[in-house]
A and B are shown apart, each in its own frame.
Chain A
Amino acid sequence: GENVEQHPSTLSVQEGDSAVIKCTYSDSASNYFPWYKQELGKGPQLIIDIRSNVGEKKDQRIAVTLNKTAKHFSLHITETQPEDSAVYFCAASTTGGSYIPTFGRGTSLIVHP
């Protein structure tokens, strides 16, 4: 089955700095990679996703990159703000067929004002 590794487990940055979270996956058949943000006391919510037919996707201050050859993908947050503080999860899955997203262990991002 799929195995997703996520690093770092905690990340502390100053407001305005950039933050990068990295994930690797093991199943070359995986072709859908969502990122979730979990705020305290809430369920994870999708913030951005990328499919295997593109290498990069951007949405305002967040961007994701995907390297299929190396089987890794990353989340980039620029100009971080205190409200970006949360736990971020990456996931990998295969569209169609038996679709079950496998999640990384999560990264606790702390943005200091």
Chain B
Amino acid sequence: DAGVIQSPRHEVTEMGQEVTLRCKPISGHNSLFWYRQTMMRGLELLIYFNNNVPIDDSGMPEDRFSAKMPNASFSTLKIQPSEPRDSAVYFCASSLIGAVNTEAFFGQGTRLTVV
């Protein structure tokens, strides 16, 4: 397996524009996480899906952020409209949750810069 695949790796956009980050989890994993990493706040959990269903979205900062998981092999994180304070590295991670859980496998991340 190629691991968790995120795209794009880098995104530079102007304030007010819509940004869509994409993630392909590891095949067979049933849980997916979106994290945001900044120097100030470290790794913050934004949202957690289990079997494609959002379980916990309490970390989503505000209504400008939305996430979907239409099937087991794809998820998106959308920011509309984007603001400079959204600049961060966004990670997607997947894992297999069951009788014995695996660790979370992270993608390479998307570095978002909003100017």
Contacts and interface: CB of A to CB of B under 8 A. Distances in A.
Interface in A20-70: 32, 34, 36, 41-46, 49
Interface residues of B, number: 24
Contact of B56 (A43, A44, A98): A98
A89 B93 CA distance: 15
Contact of B43 (A95, A98, A100, A103): A103
Contacts of B91: 43-44
A106 B106 contact: no
Contacts of B45: 100, 102-103
Interface in B78-115: 91, 93, 95, 97-101, 103-109
Which of B33, B98, B104, B105 counts the most chain A CB atoms within 10 A?
Answer: B104
A41 B109 CA distance: 8
B55 interface: yes
Nearest to B43: A103
B74 to A, nearest CB: 18
A42 B55 CA distance: 27
Nearest to A105: B42
Contacts of B103: 34, 46, 49, 101
Contact of A96 (B101, B108, B109): B101
Nearest to B4: A43
B100 A95 contact: yes
Contacts of B42: 103-106
Interface in A62-113: 89, 93, 95-96, 98-106
A102 B44 CA distance: 9
A44 B4 CA distance: 12
Interface of A: 32, 34, 36, 41-46, 49, 89, 93, 95-96, 98-106
15 contacts: A34-B103, A34-B104, A43-B91, A43-B107, A44-B106, A46-B103, A49-B103, A93-B101, A95-B101, A96-B101, A98-B56, A99-B97, A99-B101, A100-B45, A101-B104
